[in-house]
Amino acid sequence: MGRIFGVVGPAADGIPCDWSPPWAGIAEGPSRARPSSPGTVRSSGAVLYSQEGGRCHRSDDGRHVCLWDGRPVAAHRLAKHLAGHGFRAEGESIGEVLLSAYVHHGAPPLKFLRGSFALAIYDTLEQVLFLAADPYGLKRLFVAESGGSLVFSSDLGALAGSGLCPLSLSDEGLTEYLSFGYIHPPLTIYKDVSSLSVGEFLAWERGEIHRSFYHQVIGDRWAFADVEGRTENELLDELEKLSSAAILDRIPAGSERLAVYLSSGLDTGLLAASLRRHWDGELVAFTLGSEHPRHDEVPGARKMAGFLGLGDHRCVYMTKDDCYESLEQLPDIFGQPMADLSAIPNLVITREVGREFTEIFAGDGPDGLYGNWDLRPWYQLYRWVPYLVRMPLALVADRLDRTLGLGLSTPSRQIAELLTQPEFSWVFHKKLKSRDLERLLGRPVPPETFAVHRYLRDRRDIPLYERLRMGFALYFVMHGVLLKSGAIHNAVGVEQICPYYDRDLVDFICALPTRFKIRGKGYGKYLHTRLLERYVPPEVWRGRKRGFIFDFRSFDLAPLRSLTDRYLDRGRLREAGLFDPDFVGKSVDAYFKGDDRAGPAVLTLLVFEMWRDRYLP
């Protein structure tokens, strides 16, 4: 992996020559065995670090230094792509191409870069630092100002553990975390540390900072593409062309063997089928299995692997030891609390990948950007059905769900709780909501506190389905799912390749009229489904996606009880003064008595206190 770190300003002069960033890492296999060759550049007023020296490039005249973390497309392809958009970008390596584009044009080429990246360029003559993160959040950059200096890193844990910036709790970040389970940029859990938002760049010059966007996922104006006169098959041909290019451009040169995640769903199935259709090398598939038949992805993935002729299909099952070992590692992997506990099985399977591979193709992305779930019924329910009517509906739905096993609720999403929120935007919150959040914190938390509420309220110029779809894509997938999977792959030493986040592909599919995203009841990702039908017969993949749901009740709860006794002790919480100890204690007691409704609160608080114990003791 190529995580980057740097200090510019007066603080750089005080950093010892033998100091290095405290990278969090649990790499195994080739990532651990690869010789360590970090890149370090010291210049007037700056010290810059790259975890891999190959991702640190200095211009021939020595003036400019370029560091990058991520997986841009191959240098020659990137140079050709930028040239096609009128930008001069020369060189034989990624660093040369990136530096050439910046020196000649500044920020404008950023919107046309392809692949994932966190980028830092330093002008040693003018002492100007330029930082940028990719348009969709596949890679992150975190920054902290202190005494006229700037510290940055693509690894929040390294920045927090460096001792180079003050660490104190952000009230805004805490509220975001407790309600979503993660924190939306530009906030972090630290008051004096911020995150670059997706599609944002930052320029620092002798203590002065300018931040701006080179790309916005949700622009100021909404307009559908004009598809009049084009048939559905013509649009499908265009989608196939763009999808194939996005995948092929990301295959490392000379590769004879690639890894790919494969579930029972559409996205990874289409990805694996496209790789098999357009590439002749060996494909190794990894699937996360579950002992619970209702949530086991393996049977569906095996059908797909069998049809595609994938002889090497590896199914990974999580043990109790895997579960609790991974839970203990989460604070150091993220550098701040992360309560999306699917991170635990995600870490388990990524570790298995890392024993043999340093890169893997992943199907993350289409659930939001390309149109899947239709949230309009929920929106209309909140709009037209009064709260007092929804209350009895919630009780009936909850009882039917528990009695008949309808699967409406999961350990992290309870149907009764969703139906009884005072305002629709709370549906987007994955953890503590409205009244429970206010009881825990002992203060009002109006929905206007959160960016997702303000977006849903203010952007009524966007058609309802598209407004909800893009809200889900930005505030859940990019700010949450991609943050989670990116940090995990960084820590393990495996580069995650996400072709569905190719800029040309995203622009094409997002601008299509709604009927090409969702059609009929539950027929989401319509064009992608049609494309998969070209490659694989529907009987191979059609059916209810299992969906991996992580639940501690699948394992012995004794280790979890030991952790809650230690970290959620009422006396400890009372001394910290952040939360209502009685609310927490009652939630813990209810959870261990079998009430799953208390699970999100308990586990969210546990992860927070584990993080606080290490970073803000």
Give the CATH number of domain 4-213: 3.60.20.10
* Confidence at 34, pLDDT banded by 50, 70, 90: very low
Q: What are phi and psi of 223, to 5 degrees?
A: -150, 135
C-alpha span between 367 and 500 (Å, rounded): 10
User: Top-level CATH class of 232-371+465-541?
Assistant: alpha beta
Average pLDDT over residues 468-473: 91
Ranking 35-49, 353-367, 524-538 by mean pLDDT, the lowest is: 35-49
Question: 265-279: per-residue pLDDT in tens?
Answer: 889 999 999 999 999
Question: 179-211: per-residue pLDDT in tens?
Answer: 999 999 999 999 999 999 999 999 999 889 999
Range with the largest mean pLDDT of 370-379, 464-473, 526-535, 583-592? 583-592
The yes-or-no verdict on residue 165 having pLDDT over 60 is yes
Question: 360-395: per-residue pLDDT in tens?
Answer: 999 987 777 888 778 888 888 888 888 778 777 767
Please answer whether residues 439 and 416 qualify as being in contact, where contact means their C-beta atoms are separated by less than 8 angstroms. Answer: no
Ranking 33-42, 267-276, 518-527, 538-547 by mean pLDDT, the lowest is: 33-42
- The count of other CB atoms within 10 Å of the CB of residue 150 is 22
The yes-or-no verdict on residue 119 having pLDDT over 50 is yes
Q: Which residue's structure tokens are 């005249």?
A: 61
401/279: higher pLDDT: 279
The yes-or-no verdict on residue 525 having pLDDT over 60 is yes
The region, left, alpha or beta by phi > 0 then psi within -120 to 50, assigned to residue 140 is: beta
Average pLDDT over residues 433-455: 93
What predicted TM-score, i.e. pTM, was given to this entire model? 0.93
Sign of CA dihedral 531, 534, 535, 540: positive
Per-residue pLDDT at 549:
66
Q: What is the mean pLDDT of the chain?
A: 88
Q: How large a percentage of the chain has pLDDT more than 70?
A: 92
C-alpha span between 174 and 578 (Å, rounded): 10
Between helix 320-334 and helix 482-492 the angle, nearest 10°, is 100
* Confidence at 37, pLDDT banded by 50, 70, 90: low
Per-residue pLDDT at 354:
95
Question: What type of residue is 251?
Answer: I
**Segment holding 81, helix H or strand E:** helix 75-84
The yes-or-no verdict on residue 35 having pLDDT over 50 is no
Q: Encode 506-531: b = buried (16+ Cβ within 10 Å), e = exposed.
A: bebbbebebebbbbeeeebbbbbbbb
Per-residue pLDDT at 380:
86
The yes-or-no verdict on residue 30 having pLDDT over 60 is no
| Token output for 464 | 């309802």
Please answer whether residues 9 and 150 qualify as being in contact, where contact means their C-beta atoms are separated by less than 8 angstroms. Answer: yes
Per-residue pLDDT at 547:
57
Q: Where are the domains of the chain?
A: 4-213, 232-371+465-541, 556-617
The yes-or-no verdict on residue 32 having pLDDT over 60 is no
C-alpha span between 177 and 331 (Å, rounded): 13
Question: 408-421: per-residue pLDDT in tens?
Answer: 555 555 666 777 78
* Confidence at 7, pLDDT banded by 50, 70, 90: very high
Question: 330-353: per-residue pLDDT in tens?
Answer: 999 999 999 988 899 999 999 999
Burial class (CB in 10 A: 0-12, 13-18, 19+), 325: middle
Per-residue pLDDT at 404:
63
Average pLDDT over residues 109-131: 92
* Confidence at 33, pLDDT banded by 50, 70, 90: very low
Question: 204-234: per-residue pLDDT in tens?
Answer: 998 899 999 999 888 888 889 888 889 999 9
Q: Which residue's structure tokens are 């959160």?
A: 450
Question: What type of residue is 96?
Answer: E
542 HSE (CA, 13 A, CB side)? 9
Per-residue pLDDT at 545:
60
Question: 69-113: per-residue pLDDT in tens?
Answer: 988 887 888 888 889 989 898 888 888 999 999 999 999 899 888
231/547: higher pLDDT: 231
